[in-house]
């Protein structure tokens, strides 16, 4: 069995799995070479009152990049991830998560992702090097 065959979608992914009772259940679509999801984060995923936990935001940013590659037939692992938090992301309001490819070199894909608020401002962003599983 190859490594790729071992990477199956069980529906239990914390970020996108629709069968995970405590997951985020993000639903992404590919639009204009971007992997995009819209969601409202519940208060159960907060840190300070009314503010989404940074680890949850990081998960969403990572999923926008790794999930994009998985969806396009290139399963990958995150090799390096850098997150910048620009402003608090409130719970209970619509947000948009986007991920896209910046550059490719053999089995390394450089990607970016961001989370924007309703007013279009970026609350956080990430850069990553994803390693394609061969």
CATH of the domain at 111: 3.10.129.10
Averages of pLDDT over each 10 residues, the chain, 134 residues: 56 78 88 96 95 96 95 94 98 98 97 98 98 90
Please count the CA atoms within 13 angstroms of the CA of 33 that sit on its side-chain side: 6
Residue 89: domain span = 3-132
- Give me the pLDDT at residue 111, please: 98
Residue 126 φ/ψ, nearest 5 degrees: -140, 150
2: tokens are 């190859």
- Give me the pLDDT at residue 2, please: 47
- Give me the pLDDT at residue 116, please: 98
Structural domains counted in the chain: 1
Q: Determine if the pTM surpasses 0.85.
A: yes
């Amino acid at each position: 069995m190859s490594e790729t065959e071992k990477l199956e979608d069980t529906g239990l992914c914390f970020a996108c799995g629709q069968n995970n009772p405590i997951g985020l259940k993000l639903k992404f679509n590919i639009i204009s070479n971007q992997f995009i999801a819209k969601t409202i984060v519940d208060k159960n995923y907060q840190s300070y009152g009314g503010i989404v936990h940074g680890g949850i935001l990081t998960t969403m940013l990572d999923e926008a990049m790794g999930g994009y590659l998985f969806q396009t037939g290139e399963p990958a692992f995150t090799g390096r991830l850098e997150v910048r938090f620009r402003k608090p992301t409130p719970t209970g309001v619509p947000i948009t998560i986007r991920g896209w490819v910046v550059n490719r070199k053999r089995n390394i894909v450089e990607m970016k992702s961001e989370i924007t608020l309703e007013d279009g401002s970026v609350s956080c962003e990430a850069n990553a090097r994803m390693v394609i599983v061969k």
